[in-house]
């Protein structure tokens, strides 16, 4: 669904109670940039698994998304705020002059888990990285142990990268053009059958606009409830798809 189609379908619902006046009460900018992006954020945070990504290197602002290039003696690395959750990680090393490649799984742990399992980990020396620590700072992660400085080659460490699989937001926000119309160059980059589920989320925000003629707390609450039901339905659907796909992969593995 294009952003313009999304706005038109929202307006059709608004016409039910406000007729043509809805065009004066709510601009396309409000419905899309304000309420649309609020609904998107709620949907992505509620479902979490709308977009799984293991290949996009950077977000649109150049922040690390699915790949981090490690530097000797550096422990902390900024990551994209578009990441909701890191679900898997590996470290790839090309660690000698003939290009031997090693790919090793990494663990992902919280600060609390590190404190419980590794006493004194915060002041530990450098070593071979094996764990990603989340939660020390916003939009950053820590590599533990800190990557060693390679002062005495050989072997010469040519490249070391951490490769992430993440659940993330869309990389672009919904916007209007300079003419105030929905920008259809911005795509809804998750499953198309879920696009219409944004409509009650946008309606819930629209009916809370602080204007005596249009504020309808009852309609806002009804649409918010419907939106929450849609989110739960998407979670169930994605879980069912995941179980089905896992079963297919397992059967193929034993052929």
Same domain, 29 and 130: no
**196 falls within a domain:** yes
Last residue of a domain, one of 168, 202, 220: 168
- In this prediction, residue 243 has a pLDDT band, given cuts at 50, 70 and 90, of confident
| Structural domain ending residue among the three candidates 151, 168, 185 | 168
* Number of domains present in the structure of the chain: 2
Q: State percent of the chain over pLDDT 70.
A: 86
pLDDT reading at 249 higher than 70: no
Same-domain status, 43 and 100: no
For the record, the structure tokens of 119 come out as 């006493």
- pLDDT(15) > 80: no
**Bond before 155 cis per omega within 30 degrees:** yes
* The two three-digit tokens of residue 12, written as one number: 């059709």
Which pLDDT score, from 0 to 100, does residue 127 have? 87
Q: What pTM was estimated for this model as a whole?
A: 0.86
Range of weakest confidence among 14-18, 106-110, 173-177: 14-18
d(Cα 174, Cα 187) in Å, to the nearest integer?
Answer: 8
Which of 168, 197, 224 is the last residue before a domain boundary? 168
Q: Are residues 38 and 67 in the same domain?
A: no
Q: Which of 240, 244, 205, 248 is nearest to 32 (CA)?
A: 205
Note whether residue 79 is domain-resident: yes
- Based on the fold, state whether residues 214 and 229 are members of the same structural domain: yes
Residue 182 lies in a domain: yes
Confidence of residue 250 (pLDDT cuts 50, 70, 90): very low
pLDDT band of 72, cuts 50, 70, 90? confident
Residues 68 and 113 in one domain: yes
Where residue 135 falls (left for φ over 0; alpha for ψ -120 to 50; beta otherwise) is left
Query: pLDDT tens digit string along 196-214?
Result: 999 999 999 999 998 877 8
Element (H, E) at 76: strand 76-78
Same domain, 23 and 75: no
* Together in a domain, 63 and 163: yes
Residues 41 and 141 in one domain: no
Closest CA to 26 of 160, 208, 157, 188: 208
- Is residue 234, in this structure, part of any structural domain at all? yes
**Enclosing domain of residue 104:** 56-168
- Asked if residue 43 and residue 65 are part of one domain, the reply reads no
Range of weakest confidence among 36-45, 62-71, 120-129: 120-129
Percentage of residues of the chain with pLDDT beyond 90: 70
Q: How confident is the prediction for the chain on average, in pLDDT?
A: 88
26 alpha-carbon distance from chain centroid: 29
Surface-to-core class of residue 39, CB atoms within 10 Å of its CB (0-12 exposed, 13-18 middle, 19+ buried)? buried
What's the longest Cα–Cα distance across the chain?
Answer: 75
Please tell me the distance from the alpha carbon of residue 53 to that of residue 170, in angstroms, as a whole number. 11
Residues 105 and 150 in one domain: yes
DSSP string, 43-59: HHHHH--S-EESS--B-
User: Does one domain contain both 72 and 138?
Assistant: yes
Q: What Cα–Cα distance (Å) separates residue 232 from each residue in 96, 124, 131, 194?
A: 49, 43, 32, 12
Residue 10, domain member (yes or no)? yes
Q: Please indicate, yes or no, if residue 245 is contained in any of the structural domains.
A: no
Is 197 part of a structural domain of the chain? yes
Residues 109 and 152 in one domain: yes
In a domain, 226, yes or no: yes
């Amino acid at each position: 669904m294009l952003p313009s189609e999304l706005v038109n379908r929202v307006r059709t619902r608004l016409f039910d109670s406000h007729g043509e006046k809805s065009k004066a009460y709510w601009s396309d900018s409000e419905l899309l940039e304000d309420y649309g992006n609020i609904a998107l954020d709620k949907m992505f945070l509620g479902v979490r698994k709308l977009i799984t990504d293991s290949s996009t290197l950077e977000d649109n602002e150049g922040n690390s998304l699915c790949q981090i290039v490690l530097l000797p003696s550096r422990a902390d690395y900024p990551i994209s705020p578009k990441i909701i959750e890191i679900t898997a990680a590996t470290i790839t090393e090309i660690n000698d002059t003939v290009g031997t490649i090693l790919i090793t799984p990494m663990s992902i742990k919280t600060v609390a888990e590190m404190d419980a399992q590794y006493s004194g980990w915060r002041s530990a020396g450098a070593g071979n990285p094996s764990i990603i620590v989340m939660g020390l700072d916003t939009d950053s992660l820590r590599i533990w142990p800190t990557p060693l400085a390679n002062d005495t080659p050989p072997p010469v460490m040519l490249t070391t990268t951490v490769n992430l699989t993440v659940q993330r937001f869309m990389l672009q926000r919904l916007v209007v053009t300079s003419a105030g119309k929905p920008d259809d160059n911005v795509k809804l980059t998750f499953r198309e059958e879920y696009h219409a589920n944004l409509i009650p989320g946008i309606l819930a925000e629209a009916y809370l606009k602080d204007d005596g003629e249009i504020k309808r707390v009852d309609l806002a609450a009804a649409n918010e409830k419907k939106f929450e039901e849609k989110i739960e339905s998407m979670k169930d659907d994605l879980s069912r798809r995941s179980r089905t796909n896992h079963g297919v992969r397992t059967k193929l593995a034993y052929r």
